Amino acid sequence: MSIEKLIRKEIIPLKPYAPGQTIADVQKKYKLLEVFNLSTNESVLEPSSKVRDALKKELTTINQYPDGGSLELRKEIAQKYKVSSDMVIVTNGGDELLYLLTGCFISSGDEVILGEYGFSTYEIASTMYGAKIIKIPLKKGFLDLPTIARQTNAKTKMIFLCNPYNPDGTIFTQQELEKFLENISDKIIIVMDEAYIDFVESKDFPNSINLIKEKNNPIVSLRTFSKIGGIAGLRIGFGIAQPEFVNCLRKVQQPYSVNRLAQTAARACINDNDY
């Protein structure tokens, strides 16, 4: 019996996520002394001294399970973003949040809309649960929000909006997003992937957290410590959404999915404005 005959039909067309080569691999392959890896948008800076010091102290406690609810980190995130801690979910990188979203809300036959060239995990995580993927071409490098809105129907369950867009760094504005939401059913989940929000300088960039508080649409903002915090190797991100939304996600989150060192590094990082 071939093991492939036992696989769920939704898994058959999937291809494993292909991570970029490590710096060490490239150095060895091409006999280079110095390499800067741009393929995964890692920070070229070391993490801050506060993060390193906190990690050294925490090493003596790794015989103990981590805080399963990331309670202290959630409190600090909530304080920084002026939300309640029950509006925050901490995850093993932003990737875990994407899998929680699809695992919690996507059923076979649902439609998921995303922009072309977007982060491949959107499609992988959605396809796992039987979603039909609708890809919308970019318009001169920008997400085409009006076309996305026109593509929605009764089967649309989730829309991924990456802002700033990965890989080309374009953005849509507060006004564009509000106009978009006027044409979106409140039964459609809007995933705002804002992994690169910390690098935005534009003053008309959307305030997703205010929209989460004000709008009827189920919106979740995905954030990460991987980029601006320089701790991609520890895998820690978080989501902000209404408490009811967060409670649903926690039902499918694995126990202790965010390790002690990652939580410690994130707590040291979150208020280190000098870094």
Asked if residues 150 and 117 have their Cβ atoms less than 8 Å apart, the reply is no
- Rounded to 5°, angle at Cα 250 from 245 and 251: 100
Query: Does residue 57 belong to any structural domain of this protein?
Result: yes
pLDDT score at 4: 80
Instruction: Tell me the chain's radius of gyration from C-alpha atoms.
Output: 19
At residue 132, what are phi and psi to the nearest 5 degrees? -90, 125
Query: Does residue 150 belong to any structural domain of this protein?
Result: yes
Query: Does residue 12 belong to any structural domain of this protein?
Result: no
Kindly list the distances between the CA atom of residue 238 and the CA atoms of 73, 77, 124, in Å, as whole numbers in the listed order: 10, 9, 20
Instruction: Tell which phi-psi region holds residue 73, choosing left (phi > 0), alpha (psi between -120 and 50) or beta.
Output: alpha
The tokens describing 162, both together, are: 């990456």
Pairing of strands 189-193, 237-240: unpaired
pLDDT score at 12: 85
Query: Does residue 10 belong to any structural domain of this protein?
Result: no
In 98-118, which positions are buried (b, 16+ CB within 10 angstroms) versus exposed (e)?
A: bbbbbebbbeeebbbbbbeeb
Query: Does residue 53 belong to any structural domain of this protein?
Result: yes
pLDDT score at 42: 86
pLDDT one-digit tens code per residue, 185-220 = 999 999 999 999 999 999 999 999 999 999 888 999
262 lies in which domain range? 42-270
Query: Does residue 26 belong to any structural domain of this protein?
Result: no
At residue 192, what are phi and psi to the nearest 5 degrees? -95, 100
Q: What is the CATH number of the domain that holds 261?
A: 3.40.640.10
Query: Does residue 105 belong to any structural domain of this protein?
Result: yes
Other CB atoms closer than 10 Å to residue 129's CB: what's the count? 19
74 Cβ contact list (under 8 Å, min separation 6): 85, 88, 89, 90, 238
Q: Reduce the DSSP state of residue 60 to 3 states and report it.
A: helix
> Which residues of the chain fall short of a pLDDT of 50?
none
Instruction: Identify the H or E element spanning 132.
Output: strand 132-136
Q: How many structural domains are present in the chain? A: 1
Asked if residues 225 and 266 have their Cβ atoms less than 8 Å apart, the reply is yes
Query: Does residue 228 belong to any structural domain of this protein?
Result: yes
Instruction: Tell which phi-psi region holds residue 93, choosing left (phi > 0), alpha (psi between -120 and 50) or beta.
Output: left
